[in-house]
Amino acid sequence: MKKSRTNILNLLITSALVAVFGLASSSNLWAASGGDEAKEEGGGTDFIMHHIKDDYQWHIITLGHTHVTIPLPVIIYDHEDGLKVFMSSDFQDEHHNPIPHGGYYIDHGKLFKLTEDYVPSTSHSNDSHGEEVSENEHREEDSHGEEAAHVEEDAHGDDHPGMTQAGFLDISITKNVASLIISMILLFAVFLTIAKRYKKGLGAPKGMQSLFEPVIVFIRDDIAKVNIGEHKYERFMPYLLTLFFFILFNNLLGLTPGAANLTGNIAVTMCLALFTFFITQFNGKKAYWTHILWTPGVPLPVRPVILIVEVIGIFTKPISLTLRLFASITAGHIVVLSIVGLGFILNNMAVGIAGTLFSVVISLIEILVAVIQAYVFTLFSSMYIGQAVDDGHH
């Protein structure tokens, strides 16, 4: 009886997880179905790039014309006026249309500073906007279109050079930064709890400890020891464990409804790859650099060619780490959102239902990809470190 109850509980947990990740596939699509504006601007596919890109606010969902968002701090260090702090909601009117504030403007996830050449658009005025709404709803939509065109010209066009991205330092808490902070808090909470149990010297592992301990042992025995060496792996274990679980947690968090696409941001994957790059180079032994600069067993005329290849190889390794993780996570999000989005783009309920069901399967595959990519990144990092610390005695 007890075993049967346990099986039922596991089944319920699995079903709940499938439902959550199924919702994650379609949560961003309600915005696409909520109005014709998105279809006119991007053919109904703008929600895909909106989910993938970073932003100054955390958009959760759009229900009809109601945008459920979390405003985030916009922190600017102006070279002339010093530090400025705003909220992202200050840069939008009540209809979520972009407006200037404090001498700055946010356009499509980019921050611009208004210059002396900037000419305000009359459509930025809330009063005139309110008159347009009261007179005619169609005139409101037309003015929104003119405003968007005006903003685009101001930000990017040569005829309206009223905005610039120079003269200030942007240190805002964007969506990806907020997600990074959340993942850090989660990692600290989980592993400090596990460490506390080890310090108490308790018996058999249970709870979170029983879940994470096999993974930690696997990374130690099958990744670190094998690739770095049994006598050298210990000082690199903190980095490898942090690397694996940071990537894993953020990969999985990126699949939850309304979440940020942190590991699908190439700047984040590049930073992780640079950590591995610098650790590898700073720990390189004599044998490592000898193999690169003066490869043994190679004829002298060929050595210059091999030297060029080896030096290029030093930099292609972090590039491959960067692109592999970025492409895998980003492609997964695009595929899932594209499949489910077909129902809204084609305006067909049958296609939408079939796409949603199929996207659940793809989402489950994405969970597997999330784990595999964390493993692959950690594995290759340990291999590169192992090559650098090898003494060359075989």
What pLDDT sits at residue 47? 65
- Partnered with residue 169 across adjacent β-strands are 77
CA-CA distance, 331 to 75, in Å (whole number)?
31
Q: What is the spatial distance between Cα 99 and Cα 12, in angstroms, rounded to a whole number? A: 47
Q: Residue 331: what pLDDT?
A: 87
**Token digits of residue 124:** 């930025």
197 to 43, 192, 202, 208: CA distances (angstroms)? 54, 9, 6, 10
- State residue 62 phi and psi, 5-degree precision: -120, 120
Assign 109 to helix, strand or coil: coil
Which H or E run contains 19?
helix 2-26
pLDDT of residue 74: 93
Those residues with Cβ within 8 angstroms of residue 277's Cβ, 6 or more apart along the chain or in another chain:
317, 318
What was the pLDDT predicted at 147? 45
Number of other CB atoms surrounding residue 250 within 10 Å: 27
Q: Are 35 and 140 in contact (CB under 8 A)?
A: no
pLDDT at position 335 over 70: yes
Q: Which residues pair with 107 in a beta bridge?
A: 110
Q: List, for residues 281-332, the tens digit of each pLDDT value.
A: 999 988 888 888 887 777 888 888 888 988 999 999 999 999 999 999 988 8
SS3 379: helix
At residue 7, does pLDDT exceed 80?
no
Q: Give the separation between CA 381 and CA 383, rounded to whole angstroms.
A: 5
Given a cut of 70, whether residue 382 has pLDDT beyond it is: yes
Interval 330-338 mean pLDDT:
82
Domain positions in the chain: 54-117+160-173, 208-388
For the cut 70, the answer to whether the pLDDT of residue 8 exceeds it is no
pTM, entire model: 0.77
